[in-house]
Structure formats: structure tokens, C-alpha cells
Amino acid sequence: MPIYTVKRKQDGAQLTKRLSFAEYDAVVSGESLLVDQDGAALEIVFDPGQVGFVLKDGLSGGWASKTNKERQFRRERQAIMTDRENRHVFKPKLIPNYQGQEAHSWADVQQHVRSEKGLVAASTYAPLVSKERMT
């Protein structure tokens, strides 16, 4: 049920009151009189600062539940697809070579470059050698 801001006609004090849609329609049309617990007349005032609503799950689910279901589906699907990719997709490895000639390992290439071009040129192969040693 919505909460409305109401004002006492006697002293102008503002209060909040919860009304159903049917009660609100009756007050606005003049069929019913809105009174507080002391019997003082109240009138509904426009208070845009108090506008609010709550999204709740209905029969088909609400926005929040559908979003959570979609996220859960995507997480599960990602795990399945990652597993499939790991089992079925060929992942080529970089073949060590120097000037078009295949080598046994990147360490061999680095050693060859060190003997031909020096330490500075050989240091460019350091990341490949360290990655090769890790695997």
C-alpha cells in the first residue's frame, strides 16, 4: 500500500498515512473523509520527495529474480563452454626458431643469439625462456 503525506487542516502539521488504492480513490472523489486518530480532518498533499516503489516478485518473477536467474545460467554456461574449449580446441604452441630455422628450445635460441649478437640481443628472449622453463 502506498504511503501518502497528509496535512491537518487545523494546525498544518504534516503526517504520513498508508492508504490502499481504493481508499485513496474514495478520498479524492469525495466519497470518504480522511481523518486522523483524534478525528481531525486531513487532506492529501503533493510531496514529490516521498515518491517510492518496491519491485516484488510476481507469478512470473520480478526483475531482480530474472536477473539472478540469468546470471546463474551464464555462470553455469561459461563453465560448460570453458570445459568444452579445453577438451576440443587445439591450442598451438609457439615453436622456437631463429631466422626461420627451428630450434630445440628457446634457451638454445638465446644462447645462439648471445654468441652472434651479444647479451643485449639475447636478453630479448628472456621472457620466452622463463615461460618455457615454467611449463
The model's pLDDT over 75-92, given as tens digits with 9 standing for 90+, comes to 999 999 999 999 999 888
Is the same domain home to 38 and 63? no
Domain count for the chain: 3
Is the same domain home to 10 and 46? yes
Is the same domain home to 75 and 114? no
Is the same domain home to 70 and 106? no
Average pLDDT of every residue of the chain:
87
Is the same domain home to 108 and 130? yes
Is the same domain home to 45 and 66? no
Residue 25: its pLDDT value, please?
Answer: 92
Residue 50: its pLDDT value, please?
Answer: 59
Is the same domain home to 11 and 43? yes
Is the same domain home to 77 and 110? no
Residue 96: its pLDDT value, please?
Answer: 87
Is the same domain home to 59 and 84? yes
Domain limits for position 73: 55-91
Is the same domain home to 79 and 114? no
Contact between 8 and 40 under an 8 Å Cβ cutoff? The reply is yes
Whole-prediction pTM value? 0.37
Dist CA 2 CA 27 (whole Å):
14
Q: What Å distances lie between residue 69 and 57, 61, 65, 82, 83, CA to CA?
A: 13, 10, 6, 20, 21
